[in-house]
């Protein structure tokens, strides 16, 4: 007679929710005028195309690990959860330029977890929403009591500062949330996917292997087909956002906030219009002063909206991340 190899796992909690949020913004503010000089542009031109007035760029010592850990510590404090109760640390990033070890292990150590599981997740600008969905399932499945989700980016390291199409868009920063158990529904089902046929729309100019072999003349940088991405984000992501609302059994009128990835203010405004959001729904426009911080943009926007009083604690927010891949993930969440 065979003997079971493992005992039957205990059932996880009935539901999971976001219980805390934190952010880190580098101190250096980079206005449009500084960018414009290098790309033969102007403040007016940049604002017209992106809505961005300024962004933050990290100093040399502000690594993705340092920024991520600072945001994580704020999220833990906001949640009232000690680091030793974190069972897993998920880090969404595209700008940790060491293949190994995962920056998640570094961040877990910095915040003082008790050897929590830790790994990185790569889904570019949709990384946070992907990690949030994974964290939800880890808590519901009983694999971790609390999960720390961190999104940390130094986009200033990845962009070509002479590229007129992308140099003005991106900023640096980190955001984090703590996901834990609860007794009532607080996170809707995730609606996610990827269209790999359009992978070239947001790409890298060369691989790291090419850099090793001395092929490219310059450091590999982010490239983007702006109009292709704009059309995809506005039309396809509106459909995905509606699916996330339907999956949660909600209407746009039930929302307190719409917090999409801060890719471009024109995209944010177009999505809000297409979704016909009522006037009472607060729309995140963090990009104006933070720029596009890739995976970090949604948690940074959540923190800012709560801190400024733009949205209430416990309100319902539709989040949607989208970017390279072309990957996307949308989910309605209850705000901490």
Q: Which residues are catalytic?
A: 125, 261, 292
- DSSP letters, 2-38, are ---SSPPPPP--SEEEEEEEEEE--S-EEEHHHHHHH
Q: What's the Cα-to-Cα distance from 326 to each of 95, 171, 213, 274, 287, rounded to whole Å?
A: 18, 20, 28, 20, 21
Are the C-beta atoms of 57 and 227 separated by less than 8 Å?
A: no
Q: How far apart are CA 287 and CA 300, in angstroms?
A: 10
Phi, psi of 303 (to 5 degrees): -60, -45
Q: How far apart are CA 220 and CA 297, in angstroms?
A: 23
Three-state DSSP class for 45?
A: helix
Structure tokens of 140? 């519901």
If one counts every other C-beta atom within 10 angstroms of the C-beta of residue 186, the result is 22
Are the C-beta atoms of 129 and 320 separated by less than 8 Å?
A: yes
Q: How far apart are CA 19 and CA 190, in angstroms?
A: 18
Are the C-beta atoms of 67 and 152 separated by less than 8 Å?
A: yes
Interstrand relation of 172-182 and 146-154 (parallel, antiparallel or unpaired): antiparallel
């Amino acid at each position: 007679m065979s003997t079971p190899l493992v005992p039957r796992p205990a059932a996880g909690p009935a539901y999971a929710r976001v219980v805390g949020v934190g952010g880190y913004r580098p101190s250096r503010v980079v206005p449009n005028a500084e960018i414009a000089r290098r790309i033969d542009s102007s403040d007016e031109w940049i604002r017209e195309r992106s809505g961005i007035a300024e962004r933050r760029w990290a100093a040399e010592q502000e690594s993705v690990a340092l920024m991520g850990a600072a945001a994580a510590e704020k999220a833990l404090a906001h949640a009232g959860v000690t680091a030793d109760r974190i069972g897993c640390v998920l880090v969404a990033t595209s700008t940790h330029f060491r293949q190994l070890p995962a920056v998640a292990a570094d961040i877990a150590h910095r915040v003082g977890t008790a050897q929590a599981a830790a790994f990185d997740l790569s889904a570019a600008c949709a990384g946070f929403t992907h990690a949030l969905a994974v964290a939800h399932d880890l808590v519901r499945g009983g694999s971790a009591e609390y999960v720390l989700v961190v999104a940390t980016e130094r986009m200033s390291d990845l962009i070509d500062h002479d590229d007129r199409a992308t140099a003005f868009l991106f900023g640096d920063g980190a955001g984090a949330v703590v996901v834990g158990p609860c007794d009532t529904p607080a996170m809707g089902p995730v609606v996610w996917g990827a269209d790999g046929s359009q992978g070239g729309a947001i790409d890298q100019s060369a691989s790291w292997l090419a850099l090793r072999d001395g092929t490219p003349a310059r450091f590999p940088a982010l490239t983007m087909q702006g109009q292709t991405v704009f059309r995809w984000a506005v039309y396809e992501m509106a459909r995905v956002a509606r699916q996330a609302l339907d999956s949660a059994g909600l209407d746009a009128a039930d929302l307190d906030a719409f917090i999409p990835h801060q890719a471009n203010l024109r995209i944010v405004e177009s999505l809000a219009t297409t979704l016909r959001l009522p006037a009472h729904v607060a729309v995140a426009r963090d990009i104006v002063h933070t720029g596009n911080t890739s995976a970090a943009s949604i948690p940074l926007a959540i923190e800012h909206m709560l801190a400024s009083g733009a949205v209430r604690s416990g309100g319902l927010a539709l989040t949607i991340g989208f970017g390279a891949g072309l990957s996307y993930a949308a989910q309605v969440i209850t705000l901490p």
